[in-house]
Amino acid sequence: MAAHLHVVVGLGATGLSCVRYLSEKGIPVAVMDTRTHPPHLEAFQQTYPAVPVSLGGLDSGLLTQAHTIVLSPGVALSEPAIAEQVARGKPVVGDVELFAQAVKVPVIAITGTNAKSTVTTLVGKMAATAGYPVAVGGNLGVPVLDLLTDNKAATLFVLELSSFQLETTYSLKPRVATVLNVTPDHMDRYATLDDYQRAKLRIYKHCQVAVCNRDDPLTECNEPGVSQKWYFTLNTPKENEFGLLSKNQLSYLAHGNTPLLPISALPVMGKHYHANALAALAMGHGFGLPMEAMLSVLRDFKGLAHRCQLVREREGVRWYNDSKGTNVGATQAAILGLGSEISGKLILIAGGVGKNADFSPLLPAIEKYSRHVVLIGEAAKDIAAVIQQRVKVSFATTMEEAVQQAAHVAQSHDSVLLSPACASFDMFNNYEHRGQVFMEIVMRL
């Protein structure tokens, strides 16, 4: 039996999906988690009473017995007990690797520090509009193994993948793959930006078509086996690029010198969204989706929840929820994207768990577009240290207080933007919870 024992490390949603998948295949499974009470424990023990569970640490003895270690994205390969097994040559894989070994239809794979959920959603909608039975998930939404099991009729998978997932993926062969952008994130997990970038670039291994961001050299694909490369850019596109073209005083999404759609026809504002739309077009085009189906999605798409989402307008002030801005690059993009579109100034609400981030890249954008910054959470003092010489700063201990302060300083034509540049776990369950609380308070104003 133990000859094929798979030990699943981490009992979150991903770990649970791995146990389900392996059990259905009749592969013997054991589970371990560093937490004494992981989130899905009760449900797990009811469903799989016979599966051995080891909690409160990583059991080296059990890891040694494993044929394969299935690592959840939340656990680093550098964790000493795991690193020891890697050094011994023990196979360590993630859920995406198990998926890759089993999938029989094309995959479009998307990573990047920011915007991957939006672009994954757009490409999925474009494929569905073009008539493909498509399944969308991964790091966003449904774990890949559940997606595989529940979508037997799918002829295409569109996956959002994180750097953590890519570290333990070896045999995924995407039809189209992209790295949308690379800015510092998860610096509590990676020693250097190079290490983080290297993890992201793994998505291009074995891909047929690579889509790269012309404006971000860190996304460049240098894999020898790639048959085609497409680019997106916020500048004027060359012939193999999707970009922005000016014609007759209007700005268009364009392919080479062919205008496709005036940006005024897009329901979502901001330069960072234009980049997302262009990336999705480049990926769909690389896969062979018809242009009309792709453009019809862009005309209708109103954006994702918690991603620069307009909550309400009150007394000439617009309130935006960008709770999904969990790192510096995301918040920088939101400030630049929104700031350049409004006639007033931004009041920014930021802060939370800083993940060892360097907040200094925020300063130029904040200085250019913000009237005032309200800071919350553990990282408030760290952010203040970087910006308070150049912009007015205040501190709030709760989201309620932060919203009241923002309402007090906002003037007509201003916009209030919740874009924390931080994780949420000091005050909230997750970024969705943080955004929900913000929206409820704003609606009560």
Which amino acid, 336? L
Q: What gap in Å lies between CA 127 and CA 137, rounded to an integer?
A: 14
pLDDT exceeds cutoff 80 at 186 = no
For 155, the enclosing helix (H) or strand (E) is none
CB 438 within 8 A of CB 399: yes
| 1 — pLDDT class (breaks 50, 70, 90) | very low
Q: What gap in Å lies between CA 334 and CA 317, rounded to an integer?
A: 17
What are the CA-CA distances from residue 12 to residues 39, 80, 342, 429 (Å)? Answer: 6, 20, 41, 14
Please give the pLDDT value at position 304: 87
What value does the mean pLDDT of the chain take?
95
- Those residues with Cβ within 8 angstroms of residue 342's Cβ, 6 or more apart along the chain or in another chain: 318, 413, 414, 415
Nearest to 182 by CA among 272, 113, 118: 113
Q: What gap in Å lies between CA 399 and CA 405, rounded to an integer?
A: 10
pLDDT exceeds cutoff 70 at 210 = yes
Residues annotated as catalytic are 116, 139, 186
CB 269 within 8 A of CB 341: yes
Question: Structure tokens of 59?
Answer: 């059991």
Question: Structure tokens of 3?
Answer: 């000859």
Cα dihedral: 403, 409, 411, 413 (round 10): -50
Question: Structure tokens of 166?
Answer: 């890519």
pLDDT exceeds cutoff 70 at 170 = yes
pLDDT exceeds cutoff 90 at 341 = no
Please give the pLDDT value at position 148: 97
Secondary structure class of 369 (helix, strand, coil): helix
Please give the pLDDT value at position 151: 96
Please give the pLDDT value at position 123: 98
Q: Phi and psi of 35, rounded to 5°? A: -80, 150
Q: What gap in Å lies between CA 288 and CA 153, rounded to an integer?
A: 20
Quick: pLDDT tens for 220-246: 999 999 999 999 999 999 999 999 999
Quick: pLDDT tens for 342-398: 999 999 999 999 999 999 999 999 999 999 999 999 999 999 999 999 999 999 999
Count the alpha carbons within 13 Å of 130 in the hemisphere toward its beta carbon: 22
Quick: pLDDT tens for 59-87: 999 999 999 999 999 899 999 999 999 99
Domains of the chain with bracketed CATH: 2-93 (3.40.50.720), 97-300 (3.40.1190.10), 309-444 (3.90.190.20)
CB 138 within 8 A of CB 144: yes
Q: Phi and psi of 228, rounded to 5°? A: -145, 150
Nearest to 377 by CA among 334, 311, 423, 436: 423
Residue with tokens 């919870």: 433
Average pLDDT in the 30-41 region? Answer: 93
Nearest to 122 by CA among 240, 285, 260: 285
Q: Phi and psi of 393, rounded to 5°? A: -130, 140
Neighbours of 412 (CB within 10 A): 9
Nearest to 271 by CA among 253, 289, 249: 253
Which amino acid, 126? M
For the whole model, what pTM was predicted? Answer: 0.87
